[in-house]
Amino acid sequence: MRIFSGIQPTGRKHLGNYIGAIRQYVDGQERGDPAIYCIVDLHAITVPHDPQALRRSVYDTLALLLAAGLDPDRCVLFRQSDMPEHTELCWLLSAVTAYGDLTRMHQFKEKSQRQRELVSAGLFFYPVLQAADILLYRTDEVPVGEDQRQHLELARDVAERFNARFGEILTVPRHRIPEVGAKIMDLQDPTSKMSTTAESTAGVIFIDEEPDEIRRKVRAAVTDPGREIVRSSDKPGISNLIEIMAVVRGVNPADVEREFAGRGYAEFKQAVAEAVVEFLRPVRERYRELRPDEEALERTLADGAERARELARPVLADVRRAMGFGPAVRQPV
């Protein structure tokens, strides 16, 4: 089974990224044949960006993935812009992508509304590139957060439409979303997903954050009327903390509710804070060891791109031939 997922090198990675995606990447190394992980820097330029900051962020992201447990010997780990096969397949797939489908993408609507300057065509079109990222490797499974479910459905639709028109060339992928912790909410606004694009980072726990800062943010987390530590639709703040506690401890939310029944919010927040600090400590310490050596990080990316190219070239050749490009007979790649 082939597993694929991409991660954008934009902003500091936070607890929601780690729980919703990165931990699944590590798990995927054991199940994937192979597991393929891509730092999708081409997606990062759909909004205004600083070139030097983008380059640094790629290294930041790679060091964090390695610190979290990704092993380049057990997975394929590479930078998207090192693989022109992605952009070529994107253009080819645009021929079977419906304009109406792109207009319904929630993330385009949200991000375009926040843009004060240019709303780029790339922002509108990037779900097609995302589909190409996935389909280029005949991916079986895509570990994603809940917010990416719509984009994966588009990739499935594109693959099915391509196959119906040109033959069974592409694999239709399925998603894998964790039951618990797939959508960690902002500590200050528990109705909104934890995000680096939030107006304030007061409710965002970053993976590389100092322990005392994590404790301060959790203690200041918005809670709800009453004292009951239970999940409820009218208690989004405490429900979010229960979800976080369950994930970092590796237990069910119901177990957390039973453990803290009859105890106050302050005591519960203190326990959540300490659990999160210990949960992130090994990753934070390893990250600080790896990040300074950019030459080693660059070698890791280059090696990963070579392995990715071996997987991608036959698929792209099949797509090109099916669509009428190049010789009719399959050539060695």
pLDDT of residue 181: 57
In the chain the domains, ranked by start, together with CATH numbers, are 3-181+293-323 (3.40.50.620), 211-289 (1.10.240.10)
Mean pLDDT of all residues belonging to the chain: 91
**Higher per-residue confidence, 183 vs 85:** 85
State mean pLDDT over 317-326. 96
Strands (DSSP E) along the chain, which ranges? 3-7, 35-39, 76-79, 141-143, 174-176
Q: Model confidence at 208, in pLDDT bands (50, 70, 90)?
A: very high
Backbone angles phi, psi at 276, to 5 degrees: -70, -40
pLDDT of residue 122: 77
- CA-CA distance, 192 to 126, in Å (whole number)? 23
State mean pLDDT over 52-75. 96
pLDDT of residue 159: 98
- CA-CA distance, 150 to 36, in Å (whole number)? 21
Q: Model confidence at 183, in pLDDT bands (50, 70, 90)?
A: confident
First to last CA, the chain: 23
Q: Taking each helix axis from N to C terminus, what angle separates 51-68 and 294-323, rounded to the nearest 10 degrees?
A: 100
State mean pLDDT over 239-266. 94
Query: What does the DSSP 8-state code read for residue 63?
Result: H
Q: Which two tokens stand for residue 161?
A: 């439409």
* pLDDT tops 70 at residue 155: yes
Say if residue 143 is preceded by a cis peptide, omega within 30 of 0.
Answer: no
**Higher per-residue confidence, 100 vs 330:** 100
- The gap from C-alpha 78 to its chain's centroid, in whole angstroms, comes to 14
* pLDDT tops 80 at residue 273: yes
* pLDDT tops 60 at residue 161: yes
Instruction: Specify the range with the lowest mean pLDDT, choosing from 31-45, 176-190, 257-271.
Output: 176-190
Backbone angles phi, psi at 39, to 5 degrees: -85, 105
pLDDT of residue 117: 73
State mean pLDDT over 280-303. 97
CB burial class (10 A; 0-12, 13-18, 19+) of residue 258?
exposed
Name the strands in the sheet holding 174-176, side by side, starting at the edge strand that comes first in the sequence. 76-79, 35-39, 3-7, 141-143, 174-176
Strongest mean pLDDT among 20-34, 36-50, 276-290:
276-290
State mean pLDDT over 204-215. 96
The DSSP bridge pattern shows strands 141-143 and 76-79 to be: unpaired
* pLDDT tops 70 at residue 330: no
Helix or strand or coil: residue 35? strand
pLDDT of residue 156: 95
Q: Which of 176, 173, 130 is nearest to 38 (CA)?
A: 130
* pLDDT tops 80 at residue 22: yes
- CA-CA distance, 18 to 90, in Å (whole number)? 28
State mean pLDDT over 10-32. 89
* pLDDT tops 80 at residue 177: no
- Asked if 308 and 78 touch (Cβ cutoff 8 Å), the reply is yes
pLDDT digits (tens, 9 = 90+) for 93-144: 999 999 988 888 877 766 666 666 777 787 888 899 999 999 999 999 998 7
The DSSP bridge pattern shows strands 35-39 and 141-143 to be: unpaired
- The gap from C-alpha 300 to its chain's centroid, in whole angstroms, comes to 20
- CA-CA distance, 73 to 69, in Å (whole number)? 11
State mean pLDDT over 283-294. 97
